[in-house]
Amino acid sequence: MEELIRFVVNYEVGIYIVLGVVLIINLRRLLSAWISLRKANFDYSQTVSIAELHPKEKSLLKHIQEFPSVIQSAAVHHSPALIANYTYELVKEFNSFYQNVSILGADTENEKIFRIQLSKTVSNIIKNGFSLLGIQVPERM
């Protein structure tokens, strides 16, 4: 029975992580549609500066910065579970950010660009973490 419970919990965590990545991918698709509809000249690859970060942005950035040390620790300790746990925590952190901070409805264009870049960075880290674990992330669900 314990093995079944562990399997179900691990399965749910995996689905949660994949859904987080799909959310970010869909956000990028939504942005593309938004730009097309408005015929806007919106370049989210440009470098921007933000006067003040939202606390959720700061928290997410701190978590992002941990990725290289998590990978190194996982390699040293031969523990891929460290990568899986980090990825799960990153998705939780992103979901909290997404629920509390408006991305496309940001007050300024610089904030919007920064938040899109932040979302893309999280997506890339999750994909890289999954790749290290031998898992391919779907583009759609």
Structural domains present in the chain: 2-132 (1.10.730.10)
pLDDT for residue 72? 97
pLDDT for residue 34? 64
- For helices 67-76 and 55-65, the axis angle rounded to 10 degrees is 30
Name the DSSP letter for residue 135: -
Work out the pLDDT band at 32, boundaries 50, 70, 90: low
75 CA to centre of own chain: 22
Q: How far apart are CA 74 and CA 128, in angstroms?
A: 14
Q: How far apart are CA 109 and CA 79, in angstroms?
A: 41
Q: What does pTM read for this prediction?
A: 0.77
Q: Which residues, other chains included, contact 59 with Cβ-Cβ below 8 Å and sequence gap of 6+? A: 93, 96, 97
Q: How far apart are CA 59 and CA 85, in angstroms?
A: 17
72-109: pLDDT as tens digits:
999 999 999 899 889 889 988 998 998 999 987 888 88
pLDDT for residue 73? 97
105-141: pLDDT as tens digits:
888 888 888 888 888 888 889 889 988 988 776 666 5
Q: Which residues, other chains included, contact 127 with Cβ-Cβ below 8 Å and sequence gap of 6+? A: 21, 137
